[in-house]
A and B are shown apart, each in its own frame.
Chain A
Amino acid sequence: MQQYDDIPQLLLWKPYSKGQLAMSLSDFLLKNSKTDNDTTLSPRRLYYINPVNSFPLEEFQKLVPLNVPSNKHIYDNIMINQVLNMNELSKTIDKIIETTKDTTDSNENESNPKAVHTIPSEALIVISGIDIMFQNSNMSDTTHAHNLLNSILLQLRLTANTNHGSFKTVVLSRDQGVPRSGSTTSQKRAKHDGNTVYDYISKYYADYTL
C-alpha cells in the first residue's frame, strides 16, 4: 500500500498478506506519530473493522514492539471493531464519523498557543471481510443488504470529501479475481456466481483498485 497522503478516498486493496498489511498499517501510524517533543501533531487513528479475528497482530508487533514505551499510544490508537453484518457495519461507520468529527472540532477550537500548527486527526478505516458481512445480511434481506452497502460506501466517500484528505478508507479484498490458470471450469463458475461484492465496490465506489 502507498503512503497515507497518496491513498485515495476509498481504496480497494487486493491481494494482501498479513505481513504487507501489518507493514502498511505501521507505516501509517508511525509516520507523523506524536512524540514527546512534538505536540503539534495529532496522532493518527486506525479503525480496523473485521468479522473475524483477523488483525495481523503478530506481524504488527514485530514491526512496532509493544515493550517500547513510546509505542504504547500507537496501540491505543488502533480500534478493533468486530462487525458481522451490514447493519452493524453501518452503525459502526456512523459512530466513527461522529467521533472523527468531534475530534476535529475539538482540535480546531483548542485554545493553546500552538493551535495554529495543529492539524486535524487523520483517520484510516480498514474494512476487512466486507463480503462476509454482506453475505450475512444478504441471507435475511437481499434488498436491504444492497441498500446498506450503497449507503455505507456513499457515506464514506461523502465524509472523505468533506474532511479534505484526513479521512480515508481501505477495503481489503479477499477476492481471488481472474483465475490465473485459465481454467474454463473456474471461469464458468465465476460467471455463474455473478459479481462479487468486491467487483461491485471496485466498479462503482473505489477510486482505484490496488
Chain B
Amino acid sequence: MSFGVPLSQLIVERPAPLSTRLPELDRALGTGGLEGGSIYEVYGPPGVGKTRLGADLVREFLARGSGTGTTGRALWCDTGVPAPLGEMRDVAASPAVFHVRLERFTELLVFFMKLVAADAAEHYGLVVIDGFSQLVVDHVNNLASRQRDSAPQQQHLQQQRHSLHEWKCRDLTLLFSTMTKYAVQHNCTVVLLDDCMNTAYQTDLPANLEETYEIVADGSNFFVSGGSGSGSGSTNLGGSGTNAARGGSARHVQALRSALVANAGVGSRDSTWEVFLRGRVGLLWDWAPAKGEAAAAGARGARPNQAGASDATPNQASGKSRAPDRVRVAIVYTDLGADTAASGTGRRAGLPRVVQLPLVSAPPRPPPPSEPSALSETPTQTTPVLSAATAPSQSSEVVGDSEDEDEPL
C-alpha cells in the first residue's frame, strides 16, 4: 500500500481512454473509451460480437502503443471455450499479447493475487477475460451442489438461494478487490466478456409468475415482461430502453441481464460487487420492422420478433412480408456505484444510454486446421479444449437453435 499520489501526478500518468473502435459506444461511455485503472463488463448473447470487441480493444491497445513508441503488454484470458482465432491471428501473433487459460474461479483469483505481487515492470496494460461469467456460474453451481450435499432437506429453498447469493457476492467482491488493486496500481484496463441470461432469474419475481409474465409464442423460451415498466427496476434490464422509447406500452419487453447477476446465486445485494465495475455494456440484438413494413405491421397490431439472437430468416416471414431488420444495440451503464445520486444534468445516475451499433460483418473463413496460431502454441494452453457439447454456455442454452452462435471471429 502506498500513501497517496498527488492528483497532478495521476493525471500525467493516466493513459488516454482506450477506444473501442465503435465511435457510438465511445461517446456513450462518456469518456471516449475505456479508462485505465478500471474494470468494465461487456455482456450479451452469443454471436453479438463480444469477443470481436475484445479483440478490437487489444488491437487498439497495440496500435496506441506503437504510436507512442511504448508498446504495453496485453493479456488475453480464455476460460471455457477458447476464442475463435479466425480474425485474431494478428492479435495472437503480436509478441506483446500474452495468453493464459483459466478454468476455475479460484484459479483466476490466485492468478490476480500473484499479478498484484509480481514485478511492477512486467505488468499488463490491458487484460481481457473472455467468458468470465462462465467461471462465476460454475463456481456458484459448485457451491450449490455442496450446499445440497451438506443440508439436503432441512434448509428451505429461499434460504439456500439467499446463502448462495451471499457467497457469490463475497467471492466476487474478493476477486474484484484484487483486480481493482492491480488495475489501479498499473493503470490497467480489465475487460470482462460475459454471457447474458434471461429474466427467469430476476430477483423480484412475484409468486404468481404466470400472471405477470408470459412466454413468447414464437418458439423461443424467453420470459418476457407484460409491460415496459414492469421489470424489476434494476439497472440490468436489457432492451427495455429501446422498446419503451418506441412507445409500445403493450409490447413485450425482452429483458436480458448479465450472467453475473442472473444465475443460481441471484439476489438483491449485487451492488456490493457492482461498485467495482466502472461501466457495463450490454451488446444485444434488437429488431426493427423492415422498411415499408413498419406501418403495415403497426396497422395489423403485429409485434416484431424481439427474441434475442434466434434469427428470423426471410423464409420464415409469412406471405409477402419481409423479415424485420436486425440491429445491434449497446446499452451502456456507468456510475454503477452511485446508487442514489442525481447527476448534475438532472439525469438519474445509473440509467443506461442506448446506442445503435453497426452490424458485425460476416467473418472470413478461419485458417486451415494445419496452421496453428500463436495463441494455441503458447505453453500455458496445456489443458484440452472443451467442446461446446461438454461445456455449453448459459446463454447458448437460452438462445437455442441458431447454428452459427459462435463469436463471429
Q: Which residues does A use to contact B, with CB under 8 Å?
A: 14-20, 47-48, 51-55, 57-59, 66, 72, 75-85, 88, 91-92, 95, 129, 132, 135-136, 139, 174-177, 185, 189, 193
Contact = CB atoms under 8 A, between A and B. Distances in A.
Nearest first, the 6 A-B pairs at minimum CB distance are A19-B344, A79-B4, A75-B8, A78-B7, A17-B341, A15-B340
B339 A18 contact: no
Contacts of A91: 1
7 contacts: A15-B339, A18-B349, A52-B184, A75-B7, A81-B3, A135-B272, A174-B338
B6 A75 contact: yes
Nearest to A88: B1
Nearest to A23: B344
Interface of B: 1, 3-8, 10-11, 31, 35, 37-38, 170, 173-174, 177, 180-181, 183-184, 204, 268-269, 272, 275-276, 278, 335, 337-345, 349
Nearest to A71: B8
A4 to B, nearest CB: 18
A76 B8 contact: yes
Contact of A135 (B173, B183, B337, B338): B173
A171 to B, nearest CB: 15
Contact of B278 (A53, A78, A177): A53
A52 B275 contact: yes
A59 B170 contact: no
Given A57-B11, A78-B6, A16 B341 contact: yes
A139 B272 CA distance: 13
Contact of A17 (B170, B183, B343): B343
Contacts, number: 114
A51 B180 CA distance: 8
Given A53-B35, A129-B337, A189-B268, A80 B4 contact: yes
A80 B181 CA distance: 14
Nearest to B349: A17
A135 B274 CA distance: 14
Contact of A15 (B177, B335, B341): B341
B181 A82 contact: yes
A129 B275 contact: yes
Contact of A83 (B1, B31, B38, B335): B1
Contacts of B343: 17-19
Contacts of B272: 132, 135
A25 to B, nearest CB: 10
Nearest to B233: A181
A1 to B, nearest CB: 14
A53 B176 CA distance: 13
Nearest to B170: A139
A176 B174 contact: no
B168 to A, nearest CB: 13
